[in-house]
Amino acid sequence: MERYYNNNSPKSEQPEPYGERKSAVAENITTLGATNPPTAEQSNIYCMTIIGQVEGHVVLPPQNKTTKYEHLIPQLVAAEQNQRIEGMLVILNTVGGDVEAGLAIAEMISSLSKPTVTLVLGGGHSIGVPIAVSSDYSFIAETATMTIHPIRLTGMVIGVPQTFEYLDKMQERVIRFVLAHSRITEDKFKELMFKTGELTRDIGTTVIGPEAVRYGLIDAVGGVGEAIKELNRRIEERRETGVKPQRGVAH
């Protein structure tokens, strides 16, 4: 089909062919599922999401929903340096992933000088557990779950004592971090981690929101509203005292 333009009009003013025009509204609907998504440009809270699988040293297949740890580390550094950012909200819905990458993210969150709150929505499984407890105060949705299990490997494994010793040391790092950043006891955490007969892979435990709080793994059951309210309270307390509020203590 031929297309005709007014030759007297400048080229920049000539209409685009039908079907090739795409408004900003249509682009927002396609990309974000909303006509005009809300923005928080002036907010003093930085929200960081950890979705899907935590991707570490190995690139995962393109069909996997992943969060790349090399993307998160610069965000955390930037939030720490930005004077306008006074607190960080970390939202998790992750199946786990690379152990060292997950621990690196958890260590960085726990070492921020600004108040931090984590919120587990949907799931915070495997290496998502240390990330979930790394903040100053943690929330979990009532229907969200967390899977606690020993470290597992996929692919070829060299069956020598050094390999198993390395795995044992890495697992101990995860256990020590979780114990240091939550109220769960070592006996209870190891009991959940090594429980048999509950999961498909036979070893480990899945806990639901209120159970995670009862065990002392997560501080409270709540959603976005409660998480932001607690974070704002901690920001206000830090403004007044000049000191970061104590981990795990709420009013």
CA–CA gap between residue 132 and residue 141 (Å, rounded): 12
Residue 86 pairs in a beta bridge with none
User: At 64, is the pLDDT very low, low, confident or very high (cuts 50, 70, 90)?
Assistant: confident
Q: What is the mean pLDDT of residues 42-65?
A: 85
Q: What is the 3-state secondary structure (H, E, C) of 232-244?
A: HHHHHHHHHHCCC
Q: Taking the CB of residue 220, how many other CB atoms lie within 10 A of it?
A: 16
Is residue 19, in this structure, part of any structural domain at all? no
Query: Which range has the worst mean pLDDT, 61-70, 126-135, 150-159, 167-176?
Result: 150-159
3-state helix, strand, coil in the chain (%, to 5): 40, 20, 40
Please state at what angle helix 99-110 crosses helix 69-81, rounded to 10 degrees.
10
Q: What is the mean pLDDT of residues 177-200?
A: 90
User: At 35, is the pLDDT very low, low, confident or very high (cuts 50, 70, 90)?
Assistant: low
Is residue 104, in this structure, part of any structural domain at all? yes
Is residue 175, in this structure, part of any structural domain at all? yes
Residue 50 pairs in a beta bridge with 92
CA–CA gap between residue 132 and residue 182 (Å, rounded): 10
Asked if 92 and 48 touch (Cβ cutoff 8 Å), the reply is: no
Please spell the DSSP secondary structure of 150-210, one letter per residue: -----S----SHHHHHHHHHHHHHHHHHHHHTSS--HHHHHHHHT-BSSSTTSB-EEEEHH
Is residue 13, in this structure, part of any structural domain at all? no
> Of the residues 126, 134, 135, 182, which is catalytic?
126
Is residue 11, in this structure, part of any structural domain at all? no
Asked if 195 and 203 touch (Cβ cutoff 8 Å), the reply is: yes
What domain count does the chain have? Answer: 1
Residue 141 belongs to domain spanning:
46-241
Q: What is the mean pLDDT of residues 81-89?
A: 93
Domain CATH code at residue 119: 3.90.226.10
Both tokens of residue 22? 């795409």
Q: What is the mean pLDDT of residues 19-30?
A: 61
23 is catalytic: no
pLDDT number for residue 207: 94
Q: In percent, how much of the chain has pLDDT > 90? A: 52
Q: Taking the CB of residue 169, how many other CB atoms lie within 10 A of it?
A: 10
Is residue 26, in this structure, part of any structural domain at all? no
149 is catalytic: yes
Give CA torsion, residues 206, 207, 212, 215, to 10 deg: -80
Q: What is the mean pLDDT of residues 32-53?
A: 75
Is residue 118, in this structure, part of any structural domain at all? yes
Both tokens of residue 137? 């105060």
Please state at what angle helix 161-180 crosses helix 99-110, rounded to 10 degrees.
30
Asked if 105 and 53 touch (Cβ cutoff 8 Å), the reply is: no
pLDDT number for residue 47: 92
The answer on pLDDT for 4 being more than 80 is no
Mean pLDDT of all residues belonging to the chain: 83
> Of the residues 134, 138, 149, 181, which is catalytic?
149
Is residue 20, in this structure, part of any structural domain at all? no
The answer on pLDDT for 240 being more than 70 is yes
